[in-house]
Amino acid sequence: MTKIHTSPKNYLFLNWKDTGHPNAGGAEAVTWNILTSLVRSGHQVTLLTAKYPNSESFEIIDGIHVRRVGGRLTHYLQAPFYYHKHLKQQHFDYLIEEVNTLPYLSGLWSSGITKRQLFYHQLAREVWFCEMFWPLNLVGFCIEPIYTFLQSVITPQVITVSESTRDDLRRFGFKPSNIKIIPEIIETTPLEQYDSSLKTPDFTILFHSSLRSMKRPAEAIRAFGLFYKRHNLGTLWVSGGGDTSELQELAIELNIFKQVKFFGRTTDEQKVDLMQQATCLISTSLKEGWGLVVSEAGSQATPSICYNVDGLRDSCVFHGGLISEPTPSDMATELESMYQIWHTRPELYKEMCNYALSQAKLLTSRSSYQGFIEAISASPEASNPQPGELNISNPKKQKSPYAL
């Protein structure tokens, strides 16, 4: 394994969210793991991030110096001025700019820092039309390729978490040799081993996600409706925060309301319990950096069926799940495949559960941090090192080992 930094270094990270932010998610968990691991290794770490209700302008958390300035959008405007007034004199060795929809373009204003890296979980692309109102969604969609190409010129070294995002970055100007992949982490504690007694006796499908338009929960319900119409069996569990009124109306319209159970927002403990009990998880997102929910389900020995879209295909293939084309009808067909495996080939289903679990156990804090260390220490001309001890293959060039 790569070893670097024989002497303590000084890091500056840019990310508009820290783990305390109300909108923090899986990307922030990966970042925070890297930050805390650097601190434990003896390095100085500063995170420049945005304010949120009841947050402090400065505090030290887990040894990390957290500085907050500006809100969701003003943060990006204020960050350069804050850096020159308060941070430049700290003589940082490394700057890591995490790009979450909008860029900092730190390469234009972070004078004095020679070692800079970008960190992308995903590009927004079509998500603009789900998460932003007109005309800003069209503006964002059109200018994202422009500022991404600009980023490839001013800060050419970039870290990401999947082959899908690497393909996006290559498309918009980054050289393949400058893109390094590191693994995600899961905060859910994996089961020691697969235990069939934890599973419900009936065919039970779980959809777990925030109920936002980009997650396409309505398509999950439509897919289940088609499956139920053909086989007259099964239950769909829908868990996650968000308004369920339209989804409940859809379930009524499809005559499956009694077969769909809405849990609303769940605690981590409840989420784990649902994942342990479910026969499989389905995910219908428009786009992801990495399908973290697939890895979380895998940690509870639950296989997944995912739409064949960026990020989801990466994690689904990695955990041995089934891939569906991004339509409810094709998802219903893959649900039939999963049902046949579960119902008629229990040993194969058990093998799928064990494989999903064993892969989840590879996504550790250590493997993610080691991948980061290898990425920032690799020369620009070096081929991408395998992150830690993982082998995250290109999902477009292979399929799940359990695909029928």
Counting Cα atoms < 13 Å in the Cβ hemisphere of 390 gives 32
Q: Name the band, by pLDDT with cuts 50, 70 and 90, for residue 35.
A: very high
| pLDDT confidence of residue 114 | 81
Whole-model pTM: value is: 0.89
Range scoring the smallest mean pLDDT among 3-7, 100-104, 332-336 = 3-7
Q: Is the confidence at residue 342, as pLDDT, over 50?
A: yes
Q: What's the distance, CA 47 to chain centroid?
A: 20
pLDDT score of 375 more than 90: yes
Query: H or E stretch including 225?
Result: helix 217-231
**pLDDT reading at 4 higher than 70:** no
Report pLDDT digits (tens) over 183-196: 999 989 999 999 99
How far is C-alpha 316 from the geometric centre of its chain's CA atoms?
Answer: 12
| Percent of the chain topping pLDDT 70 | 92
Structure confidence by residue, pLDDT tens digits, 205-248: 999 998 989 899 999 999 999 999 999 999 999 999 999 999 99
Sorting pLDDT into bands at 50, 70 and 90, what band is 402? Answer: low
| 252 and 351 assigned to the same domain | yes
List, edge to edge, every strand of the sheet that includes 235-239.
260-264, 235-239, 204-208, 280-283, 304-307, 322-324
Report yes or no on 77 lying in a domain. yes
Q: In this structure, what token pair is assigned to residue 238? A: 């829908």
Q: 136 and 70: one domain?
A: yes
Confidence band for 397, pLDDT divided at 50, 70 and 90: very low
CATH code for the domain in which residue 123 is found: 3.40.50.2000
In this structure, what are the phi and psi dihedrals at residue 194, rounded to the nearest 5 degrees?
A: -65, 135
What integer pLDDT is reported at residue 197 of this predicted model?
Answer: 96
Q: Are residues 177 and 275 in the same domain?
A: no
Task: Determine, yes or no, domain membership for 191.
Answer: no
Number of helices and strands (H, E) in the chain?
13, 14
Residues 33 and 144 grouped into a single domain = yes
**Residue 157: its pLDDT value, please?**
95
Residue 73's pLDDT is: 82
In a domain, 403, yes or no: no
Residues 181 and 203 in one domain: no
Residue 3 lies in a domain: no
How much is the mean pLDDT over the chain? Answer: 91
Q: Same domain, yes or no, for 253 and 370?
A: no
Same domain, 113 and 76: yes
Number of separate domains in the chain: 2
Q: Rounded to whole angstroms, what are the CA distances from 400 to 265, 300, 302, 348, 361?
A: 31, 19, 15, 13, 18
Question: Are 342 and 276 in a shared domain?
Answer: yes
User: For residue 389, what pLDDT is reported?
Assistant: 41
User: Does residue 401 fall inside a structural domain?
Assistant: no
Answer whether 337's CB lies under 8 Å from 324's CB. Answer: no
User: 336: closest CA among 355, 322, 347, 348?
Assistant: 322
Predicted confidence (pLDDT) at residue 13 exceeds the cutoff of 90: yes
Q: What single string gives the DSSP state of each residue in 22-75?
A: TT--HHHHHHHHHHHHHHHTT-EEEEEE---TT--SEEEETTEEEEE-S-TTHH
| pLDDT over 60 at 256, yes or no | yes
Residue 2 lies in a domain: no
In a domain, 351, yes or no: yes
376 in the same domain as 356: no
Flag whether 78 is in a domain: yes
| 288 vs 112: CA distance, rounded Å | 34
145 & 44 share domain: yes
Question: Does the pLDDT at position 404 exceed 80?
Answer: no
Specify whether 166 is located in the same domain as 219.
no
Spatial contact of 271 and 189, defined as CB atoms under 8 Å apart? no
pLDDT digits (tens, 9 = 90+) for 73-131: 899 999 999 999 999 999 999 999 999 889 999 999 998 888 999 999 999 888 878 77
Query: Do residues 327 and 381 share a domain?
Result: no
Structural domain boundaries enclosing 220? 196-362
The mean-pLDDT minimum among 10-24, 252-266, 357-371, 372-386 falls in 372-386
